[in-house]
A and B are shown apart, each in its own frame.
Chain A
Amino acid sequence: MRWIRWMVPLLVVGLLVSLAGMAYANGGPHGGYTPTTDACAGCHRAHTAQGPNLLTAASTYELCMSCHGASATGADTNVADGVYTDRQGGGEGTVNAPLLGGGFVNYQSATVTSIHDVDGTQSAAWGFGVARGSTANLPGPLTCGSCHDPHGSNNYRIIREEIAGTTVTVDQVDESAKDYTVEQWPDNVTNACVACHGAYHVTRANSGEDNSDDGSGNADYGGDISTYAHRVDMSYQYGSNADPETTGYGGYTLPLTASKYVACQTCHLPHGTAATMTTLATGPNTGDSALLRLDNRGVCEVCHQK
């Protein structure tokens, strides 16, 4: 059987090609590992008795910050100050443009007013399998590794493929030419949030009214969804809404996904914000700026110009 002679090398080549294709196109030391480089060593101590589990929750933050910190000694994305320390794309343009994720210490040169506190002490998340406005504990403490998989993933920005027991898909959009300062979100970018904040994932029409059943198959966490749980994964175009991305209001704009959908990230920054909040609504807020992009109720005004 002569064809076998041809098939074997072909199969081997095919396998290699498909393996190569599987390699993640993630940035920096995250993923895309080849057997020749000791890429693990950059984060794990090599060949000592203590293995990877030495990386405790508190030290995960310090590990990430040893490259992504204010001094950005091992990356261009400085997540402490929420800036990209170089020019995007290499050519013209400014340095230190704000990052899409916000900052953990400062944002737009001001001290943050709320963050996802990733020091490994927090684990109660709003609306995690419970009614919006109440909290339930996540399976583990919140760290950078709760949302990102430092080993690489098939998701946008190495968002974990599984968060708090839920499978998560956030499509990659800019893997060939990454831009950390201009939104190019996939339509399912909301998935990065709802594994932990399920009760906020309201996708049915008239979300401000009767939400005992959100009509989309999402779990009903008690039918209390009201004032603050804004509908997401929908087009911004309702009634007389202005395009928040281009028109905006008073010089302020808000980002949308590829198909102009509203996402959680339209109003919230995942890392931290320096927005100020003087007119708190009554409700289950924590008395801070709730990771909002704009001061006070700015995020509402940009679309609903009242």
Chain B
Amino acid sequence: MSDRLTRRDLARLLGVGLLAGPLGAATRGGGDARAGTVGIAPLAADELGQVAASGALIAVSAAIAAATGAASGEAAAARLFSAGDTVGIKLSCLAGRPLSPRREVVEALVRLITAAGVPAGRIIVFERSSRELQRAGLPLRRSGGPYLCYGIDNDYDPLPSDSGAIGSCFARLVSTHCTALVSVGVVKDHDLAGVSAGLKNWYGVIHNPNKYHDNNCDPYVADVVNHPFIRGKLKLTLLDGVTAQYHGGPAFRARYAFPLHRVVASMDPVAVDAWAWRVLDSERRQHGLPSLAEAKRPPRFIATAAKYGLGVGDPSRIREVMA
């Protein structure tokens, strides 16, 4: 996938002509060897779109190992999580089963976190509502089993908290309960934001995301992730890219879905979204569609997130490591 878009194309899309200088200086990646690194592993589905649990575990392990530079998925998880953590895994399930993170991929991640010593009762897979999790094929449970799985439903902080332009009540799971967070998304087009992958997934933890869709969700997506509730705890972004969608999102549209056959991981939440943007634009071009920027919905929040120091938005510094 990496050679479908030239560096110059990506630079143009991300506006680095304007931003490269300040971004380079501002990103937290300045002294972090893994900043800008995106680990990619192959994962194919069968003709029914399903993947085997064993295949998912191999792919997720490989992608995370590649992203972190660790020798294995277990070693990577041990670097990211400790036994005392309460780990919140936020899924992106709005599009229902065909375009949500697969249960096999989620459970592969859970196995690695468990191997790092985090007890099952402190691994919480969650979404905005229990109903969305159910529709995506995840098993709801508030106790027992290898991990917990439930919706935020109505459990928000009683008062709003400001971050940049947003003022929102955050899910208490994120603000209070969890000590470590993971974003598990997909690679898809979004009608307003341009890209919905790892960063925009965090809209699901505030009570009022509908208020923040103007201007291609910029700076709002970056503002949500920049809040200390998330910024201070976000350890990993994992994308289930077995099936991706280059147009017509955020709902699933079969005619725009395509087999990407990848699992992608990064400790850098900005780089992984920039990577997803590149993939979607490349696919759009192959189908004769204008780029997201030409369609007037460039994911501007990526550059803003980079400006906040959340990760690397400079395409020249995004490094794909194929597992």
Q: Do A and B come from one complex?
A: no
List the interface of chain B (C-beta within 8 A of A).
none
